[in-house]
Amino acid sequence: MALSRLSLNTSSSSLSRLLFRPSLLSASRLFSSSDVLTIETSVPFTAHQCDPPPRTVETTPKELLGFFRDMSVMRRMEIAADSLYKSKLIRGFCHLYDGQEAVAVGMEAAITRRDAIITAYRDHCIFLGRGGSLVEAFAELMGRQGGCSKGKGGSMHFYKKDSHFYGGHGIVGAQVPLGCGIALGQKYSKDGTVTFAMYGDGAANQGQLFEALNMSALLDLPVILVCENNHYGMGTAEWRAAKSPAYYKRGDYAPGLKVDGMDAFAVKQACKFAKEHALKNGPIILEMDTYRYHGHSMSDPGSTYRTRDEISGVRQERDPIERIRKLILSHELATASELKDIEKQARKEVDEAIAQAKENPMPDPSELFTNVYVKGFGVEAFGADRKEFKAVLP
């Protein structure tokens, strides 16, 4: 991993008012929170049909520490979900995102909450990035009524309408036309926002993706197709599933950018670039080169189609959290023990959220029939034994 080059602009030498951790306020720092740090991404961007953005990214200590904290919380959440699944509190399908956190936090840093994100079933961390709370996430995973979808969706159906997070979809690839439709709505209302439609390397071979891209390009829709390439479509490696695994080039007429998805700053730069591009010129494809440590889902050990050496190799060299940790330490924004404290804090938050979510009750049986149709036109049916049927006419 290339070491970042540091250029420092200090506006004053006053003590920093760093962040959110009270313990850090007491320490003296060389940088204030409004300082701008320039960091170089690990590798340059590879572009298709466009000029790549520069490698140097500007950031602040606040943002750096924010990345560290958010990614630690996400990592802890996924690991906790793993153990909850093994203790049978989470059932069904559970697709974990650990290893890919940089994509979620980098994207959030580049956009606003009015921009839309839609993704597939590996959605827990995107939900958190959009402002979802840990309690809502765990409650939904455990099927409780305090969950973000009232317990009726599950792991694959997290949604947050007020932050324009459109889910959470189980069928591979089906979310991409939906994402292009959301962009159609955004273009229709002319509000200067974009949609990030995320999918995986497995979904990249779906026909509906190309259909939707074609239509989006015809209409110049402000949609950004983000391929989170973790190199395995469940158990099938990308070279066995795709004749051309250069997913950023597969848009053909649509420009594309290949990004190191384990580097949060590369992701941030690429998303910022893509947003500007999409608002002016229509769709663009971003391929995030990333990696997942867990298997495809909890029922997949993840080691039958790849070696443990490969997994630990990536963890040592490219882990997103470690990268940020090294950056923070090399710029002396915090000490190693302070970073450890942040991680401990994250763990504590996650544990508290789980405890709270466990207290949450299961949904009431009458919830079976709510939200099938929109309220006001609903036909209510009562009686699990089907003895009674009532049609409620407004």
Partner 1 sequence: MAGALQAATAALLSSTPLKTYGSYRLRLGSAPRSLAGRKGSFLVVRSDAGFGSGSNARTRPGKLIPNAVATKPDASSSSTSSKPGHELLLFEALREGLDEEMARDPRVCVMGEDVGHYGGSYKVTKGLADKYGDLRVLDTPIAENSFTGMGIGAAMTGLRPVVEGMNMGFLLLAFNQISNNCGMLHYTSGGQFTIPIVIRGPGGVGRQLGAEHSQRLESYFQSIPGLQMVACSTPYNAKGLMKAAIRSENSSCALRALYLLFGGGGDGAPGEHVTILTYSRMRYHVMQAAKTLVNKGYDPEVIDIRSLKPFDLYTIGNSIKKHTPRLQSAIIKEFWDYLDAPIKCLSSQDVPTPYAGTLEDCTVVQPAEIVKAVEDLCK
**Residues of the shown chain interacting with partner 1 in the complex, contacts defined by CB under 8 A:** 116, 118, 147-154, 157, 159-161, 166-171, 174, 176-189, 207-208, 211-212, 214-215, 218-219, 370-379, 386, 389, 391, 393-394
User: Quick one: which of 22, 27, 19, 72 has its CA closest to 348?
Assistant: 72
Confirm if 4 and 324 have CB atoms less than 8 A apart. Answer: no
Name the minimum Å distance from CB 146 to partner 1.
11
Distance of closest approach, residue 156 Cβ to partner 1, in angstroms: 8
* 181 in Cβ contact with 393 (< 8 Å): no
Query: At its nearest, how many Å lie between partner 1 and the CB of residue 262?
Result: 30
- Name the one residue in this structure whose structure tokens are 């929109």: 374
φ, ψ (nearest 5 deg) of residue 152: -95, -5
| 125 vs 213 by CB, closer to partner 1 | 213
Output 79 or 219, the one with its CB closest to partner 1. 219
Report how far residue 178's alpha carbon sits from residue 160's, in angstroms, rounded to the nearest whole number. Answer: 15
Going by C-beta distance under 8 Å and a sequence separation of 6 or more, which residues neighbour residue 73?
A: 128, 134, 346, 349, 350
Nearer to partner 1, 162 or 309 (CB): 162
Q: Smallest gap, in angstroms, from Cβ of residue 206 to partner 1?
A: 9
Closest CA to 42 of 197, 193, 262: 262
Nearer to partner 1, 94 or 264 (CB): 94
> Shortest Cβ distance from residue 147 to partner 1 (Å)?
7
Alpha-carbon distance 201 to 232, whole Å? Answer: 7
- Residue closer to partner 1 by CB (options 14, 189) is 189
- Is residue 270 within 8 Å of residue 292, measured between CB atoms? no
248, 286 in Cβ contact below 8 A?
A: yes
- Cβ closest to partner 1, residue 188 vs residue 239: 188
Is the CB of residue 220 less than 8 Å from the CB of residue 255? no
Closer to partner 1 by Cβ: residue 211 or 332? 211
Q: Are 268 and 274 in contact (CB under 8 A)?
A: no
> CB 129 → partner 1: shortest distance, Å?
18
CB of 330 to partner 1, least distance (A): 43
